[in-house]
């Protein structure tokens, strides 16, 4: 075989080999991802347990080692990792701790059972039957946190939030915020922003909506942007 033909054949063989290897590792990688997903999905959701630690107004730790994030609500942040606490963050944590610390709670789930941080998303019930998620919203210690998937207690929590707002309970009476002339809402993420917020301006026109007041945004179940803090 002439040298030129031999070199051409070797190049083709090398290309073919590399192509096979790329396909092989792609299949291996995909199988690994699917395997991890199936393993995670096979883990049984905890039905409940004793609360041994309270991290803030919406996240606790069970004696089984599982971290639970309260479904459908978002409490003000406490100070952590060098950041300062949000207004009413410590009060929200204190009420949560008073309600659930050392209590044996029962968990119930909705459409989404695990969040992006690997925490179980659940409604948390006390031995007397009260829903802690609802108690925190009713006392003005947490906001309704709406998602595109929705959840079964949305209407109930929105009603409690509206009542807390009217009564100026908790953060609604203590946390004063300078109002904007109007706000930008995102129909997809259910987040609302001040007009000058760079995150708000990135919202696509099909998802962007103008909201006349902060009250109207909360009554619709929208959450405030953590960057511009409307």
- Written as tens digits, the pLDDT of the chain (230 aa) is 554 444 444 444 544 544 544 444 443 343 333 333 333 445 789 999 999 999 999 999 999 999 999 999 999 999 988 789 999 999 999 999 999 999 999 999 998 899 888 899 999 999 999 999 999 999 999 999 998 888 999 999 999 999 999 999 999 999 999 999 999 999 999 999 999 999 999 999 999 999 999 999 999 999 999 999 99
State the fold for domain 48-172.
OB fold (Dihydrolipoamide Acetyltransferase, E2P) (2.40.50)
Given this model, what pLDDT does residue 1 score? 53
Cα–Cα distances in angstroms (integers) from residue 210 to residues 107, 145, 196, 202, 217, in the given order: 37, 19, 13, 14, 10
Quick one: tokens of 152?
Answer: 């079964």
CA dihedral 175, 178, 183, 185 (to 10 degrees): -20
Residue whose structure tokens are 């301006």: 201
Give me 55's structure tokens: 């991290």
What pLDDT, on the 0 to 100 scale, is given for residue 32?
37
This prediction has a pTM of 0.80
**How many CA atoms does the CB half-sphere of 186 hold within 13 Å?**
20
Q: How far apart are CA 119 and CA 69, in angstroms?
A: 6
């Amino acid at each position: 075989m002439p040298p030129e033909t031999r070199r051409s054949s070797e190049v083709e063989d090398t290309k073919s080999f590399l192509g096979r290897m790329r396909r092989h590792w792609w299949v291996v990688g995909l199988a690994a991802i699917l395997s991890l997903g199936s393993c995670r999905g096979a883990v049984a959701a905890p039905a409940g347990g004793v609360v041994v630690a309270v991290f803030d107004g919406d996240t606790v730790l069970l004696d089984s080692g599982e971290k639970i994030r309260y479904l459908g609500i978002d409490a003000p942040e406490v100070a952590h990792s060098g950041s300062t606490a949000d207004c009413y963050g410590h009060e929200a944590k204190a009420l949560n701790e008073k309600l659930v610390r050392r209590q044996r709670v029962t968990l119930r789930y909705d459409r989404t059972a695990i969040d992006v941080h690997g925490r179980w998303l659940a409604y948390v019930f006390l031995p007397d039957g009260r829903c802690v998620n609802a108690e925190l919203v009713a006392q003005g210690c947490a906001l309704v946190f709406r998602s595109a998937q929705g959840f079964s207690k949305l209407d109930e929590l929105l009603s409690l939030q509206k009542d807390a707002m009217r009564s100026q309970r908790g953060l609604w009476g203590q946390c004063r915020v300078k109002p904007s002339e109007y706000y930008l809402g995102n129909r997809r993420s259910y987040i609302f922003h001040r007009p000058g917020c760079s995150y708000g301006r990135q919202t696509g026109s099909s998802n962007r909506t103008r909201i006349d007041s902060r009250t109207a945004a909360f009554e619709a179940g929208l959450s405030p942007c953590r960057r511009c803090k409307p």
